[in-house]
Amino acid sequence: MSTPLLALAHGRVLTPEGLREDVVVLVRDGHVLALADAADPRLTGAARHDLAGALLLPGFIDVQVNGGGGLLFNDAPTVDTLRGIAAAHRRFGTTGLLPTLITDTAATMRAALEAVDAAIAQGVPGILGIHVEGPFLAPARKGIHDASLFRAPDADDLRVLTAQHRGVVMLTLAPEQVDPGTIARLAAAGVRVSLGHTGADYATARAALEAGASGFTHLYNAMTPLGSREPGVVGAALDDPGSWCGLIVDGHHVHPAALRVAITAKPPGKCVLITDAMPPVGSERPDYVLNGQTIVVRDGICMNDAGVLAGSALDMAGAVRNAVNLLGLPLEEAARMASAYPAEWLGLEQTHGCIAPGQRADFAVLDDTLHVRETWIGGVRYPAM
């Protein structure tokens, strides 16, 4: 039995054609039924929600979320943890995310995959799959990861990662640690292979792309830079038209000029806003423990005592604001970098990432300062707290 028709009216709606003020978004059964005009007869008897001139954007999709709400996925890879992390990010317009497991043991990786499968089966709002970041990484570019746990993937790892899962599986690896044949096997099984925490040269990164790698994890950070005679992993990323690049636009991880260079170099649609968020997002606590180290947020930067960056305190609405205010991007493009483009990277573009008939009714409602007023997931409204 269908649910009653809902009409979201009087908003500035970001459609695939651009911002429009002349449409009413009709929602039924958790999906967009139509973009209607004010005279549409279907409006008669529909429940109305007045947006009062606010921006109605596609819900944000974050492919790299380590934690939030005071919770770190690694600490307790359970459905309850996932529920809490998703709820924390929902306050900031995130309607879909990949909880991210930082380098850990094989047992923890299995537990994380099982927890995500269970969360999706239980309908936890916002969980789209999992991002496994490590342990197949390079010690030379370890960042905050525990290099003592780094290793090459074995047969059990491949079996677990390529098994049928309920959601998307993204895997960050260093291409010098994993041979192209293994990357090809992972990609053939549907795993989104992303290159990161790597000291590889350009040729090695190119070979990984040709084997099936689809993108780059937090471009510029923890990878070989672009040089005049050795383009490095950054050069491979900027030179490749088919891959996606995750960008942390927090004003700390990457200089705005370098971000603008990447956005200009890549074809439209291939740069994706991510947060790499840690437990302080959506929490009053400015600190957390990772690998036995206390990480503190200072001036918006998560770092350990040695000054090593440890994820971010960024949320997706903040990433959109920064893309507009720091990088000078049009709001429409910044919003697509947070919704349509990550949906395409994850292979979810038929159901997620834009406001159009047939898409899930996942929305972020923002005021003129680009702060979130309410979030909708599957047609269910969650007011910002």
Please spell the DSSP secondary structure of 284-340, one letter per residue.
Answer: S--EEEETTEEEEEETTEEE-TT--B-SB---HHHHHHHHHHTT---HHHHHHHTTH
CATH for 123: 3.20.20.140
Residues 277 and 360 in one domain: no
Task: Give the Cα separation of 218 and 234 in Å (integer).
Answer: 10
Which H or E element spans position 248? strand 244-248
Give the pLDDT of residue 298.
84
Residues 23 and 74 in one domain: no
What's the first-to-final CA gap in the chain, in angstroms? 32
**Domain count of the fold of the chain:** 2
Among the listed residues 218, 358, 12, the one whose alpha carbon sits nearest the alpha carbon of residue 348: 358
Residues 299 and 257 in one domain: yes
HSE toward the beta carbon, residue 16, CA cutoff 13 A: 12
Catalytic residue IDs: 276
Residues 371 and 292 in one domain: no
Residues 285 and 313 in one domain: yes
248 - beta bridge partners? 274
- The pLDDT averaged over each successive group of 10 residues in the chain (385 residues) is 87 96 96 94 92 98 97 97 98 98 97 98 98 97 94 97 96 98 98 98 98 98 97 98 98 96 98 96 88 84 84 95 98 98 98 98 98 98 83
Residues 317 and 364 in one domain: no
Task: Give residue 39's domain range.
Answer: 6-57+355-383
**DSSP helix/strand/coil, 113:** helix
Residues 339 and 379 in one domain: no
Give the pLDDT of residue 385.
65
Total-model pTM: 0.97
CATH for 378: 2.30.40.10
Give the pLDDT of residue 217.
98
Residues 222 and 336 in one domain: yes
Q: Residue 322: inside a domain, yes or no?
A: yes
Give the pLDDT of residue 1.
57
42 - beta bridge partners? none
- Amino acid identity for residue 267 in this structure: P
Q: Residue 350: inside a domain, yes or no?
A: no
Q: What letter does residue 91 receive in the DSSP assignment?
A: T
Residues 190 and 296 in one domain: yes
Residues 368 and 340 in one domain: no
Give the pLDDT of residue 45.
87
Residues 107 and 245 in one domain: yes
Task: Give the Cα separation of 230 and 201 in Å (integer).
Answer: 7
